Structure formats: structure tokens, C-alpha cells
Amino acid sequence: MEIEVKFRVDFNSLRAVIEALGASFVREEVQEDVYFSIPLPELLRVRRIPNLGKTFLTYKRIADPGRNEEFDELEVEVSDFETTVEILKRLGYKEDVIVRKRRLVYRLNRVTFELSEVEGLGGFLDIEVISDDVAEAKREIWEVARKLGLSEKDVEPRLYQELIRERT
């Protein structure tokens, strides 16, 4: 299970705070996410990462709809973005929302930080732990979140694609 909490943040100031905390920089990704029209709590996405030359097909099921912090995720790398999108279209799925972002990934022990500048939406930080122990994962997430100066009022429970859809 992928456990993550999303916070609204200022990209540059959080970057400095994460680095000061001692987290290791893992990689930078430019992400172009195409979400297909399947009903929540399921998500179907093709993610292109042009700066790494990689594309992923991802299925997620939200285990806590509304809060959107617990995800059952299945992902494979695929060899071609356009062909994968076209296969899904042929199968009857429609392109729903496209989310574009620049993301810096950091790691501190079991915790992954995904600091993103999302096109049209601003800065966000996803703090993520992969674990089957949801309570323990959330404890770890909130422990570092507090160290970064984040609190419950900074949480953004909506999905990126929901935020994009509300905006348009």
C-alpha cells in the first residue's frame, strides 16, 4: 500500500527545508500525466517522464476515498507513450485530465518526498511511505511533516486531476 499525504507548499522554501532536514536528492522528473475516465475510487494513468525518457502505465485504487491518502497501486513501465494511450482509447477509455508538473524527489529513510510545481496549480509536497501498516506509515509521515513546519491546515485532500478539473 502506498500511503501519502499531500500538502500545499511554497516550492522554493520547502526545497530548502527538505534539504536542511538531511533528505537525499534522488532525481528530478518532468511529468506529463494523462488520466483516463474511469470512476473513482479507481484511477488509470499513463505518465510520461520526458527528461528520463520513460513512460509508465499505472492503475490505482483509492482505499480511503475523499481523504485520498491510501492507494493500492499497480504500475509497469511501457516502451511507448503514444501507443499506450492509443491502446487505452481503443479499449474505450477517454482522456479525462492532463496534469503537468516538475517534481523533485528526495528520500529520508523510508520516507519519500515529492516536491512538485504543478502547471496551473502551484507548489505541492507529497510525503509518501510504502507500507502495509497504515497507522505506522501515517505516524512517520506526520513526524517529518511537523519537522518541515507543516500542519493539518496545509493538507490538500483533493487529487491533482480533481484540482485541474475544478479549475477549468
Residues of span 8-37 touching its own copies by CB under 8 A? none
Site string for its own copies, 48-87 (x = CB under 8 A): ---------x-x-x------------xxxxxxx--xx-xx
For the beta carbon of residue 164, count every other beta carbon within 10 angstroms. 21
Instruction: Tell me if 68 sits within 8 A of 131, measured CB to CB.
Output: no
Q: How far is the CB of 10 from its own copies (least distance, A)?
A: 35
Q: Pick one of 10, 28, 42, 64: the residue that binds its own copies (CB under 8 A).
A: 42
CA angle 38, 41, 47 (to 5 degrees): 60
95 binds its own copies (CB under 8 A): no
By CB atoms closer than 10 A (0-12, 13-18, 19+), residue 96 is middle
> Are the beta carbons of 119 and 100 closer than 8 angstroms?
yes
Under the binding rule (CB under 8 A), the answer on residue 135 touching its own copies is: no
Binding site for its own copies (CB under 8 A): 38, 42, 44, 57, 59, 61, 74-80, 83-84, 86-87, 90-91
